[in-house]
Amino acid sequence: MSITKFKLALIQLAVGTNKAENLLRAGRFIQEAAKKGAHLVTLPECFNSPYGTGYFAEYAEQLETGESSLALSSAAKENKIYLVGGSIPEKKDGKLYNTCTVWGPDGGLLAVHRKVHLFDIDIPGKIKFQESETLSPGNELTSFQMGDICKVGVGICYDIRFAEMAQIYARNDCRLLIYPGAFNLTTGPAHWELLQRCRAVDNQVYVATASPARSESSSYVAWGHSSAVSPWGEVIASTDEKESVVYADIDLEFLEQIRSQIPITHQRRPDMYEVVQKKN
């Protein structure tokens, strides 16, 4: 019998400057989530380091040998879960990336997503941030299969603003989209929930976001409010800015009901418009 419901856990981690402590804290929360029945666990963006262009080079690792990857692989295997490893600064071929790794219950690496859309914004009097000062963009969209349960699309933070990316995931049979992210105190209150609900309703999928917990002592202050949204656009689980774990039940039968009631998948007009995935 195939599984149509599973529990998702979003870990809103308090991230400090001590990488080893960040990894230990993440491991403890992963274990806690698994004990409470989570089948899929997600960490936040930059879970092993502070978020900021001044930190990326210092905390960057190679995926093959990095301590963060080794810790994630071990945690997934020990707890027999699927694990979306938020993101870490990655160094590869002389470049730095903001990279998410995905691990299976056997500890094997299932997918690697390098942030496609870099966070370069300038809101006068509020916030200016330029990821491109240090990071390079990824050039591939990323999804992974949870056994025979569900296909999941992955983006990182700013990727959620680009509707075409989510549309391609949905048309490639993803039922859940996960975005580890770190919106700030300007964009968070305005757009964090709005974007999640838009991507969910537009594509009739579940959408989940995992943020770091808020730290006022950090140079970049995260909004928090990790959440999960249903295909109907309802926020089904959320939290505040503090360190916590958010649990959500993903119901694939409910998703199919929504798609049958409002059948936008079959009502599109490809004779008039089309979103096409570039072939590498």
Residues catalogued as catalytic: 45, 115, 157
User: What is the C-alpha separation between 53 and 51, in angstroms, rounded?
Assistant: 7
Q: Left (φ > 0), alpha (ψ -120 to 50) or beta: where does 80 sit?
A: left
Collapsing DSSP states into helix, strand and coil, what is residue 10?
strand
**Whole-number Å distance between alpha carbons of 263 and 52:** 42
The DSSP bridge partners found for residue 228 are: 208, 237
Q: Name, in order, each residue with C-beta under 8 angstroms of 104's C-beta and a sequence gap of 6 or more.
A: 76, 82, 110
Apex 187 CA angle, 208 and 276, nearest 5: 55
Report CA-CA distances (Å) from 179 to 22, 91, 110, 166, 270: 20, 21, 16, 11, 28
Would you say the C-alpha torsion 208, 174, 71, 113 has a positive or negative sign? negative
> Which helix (DSSP H) or strand (DSSP E) does residue 142 occupy?
strand 142-146
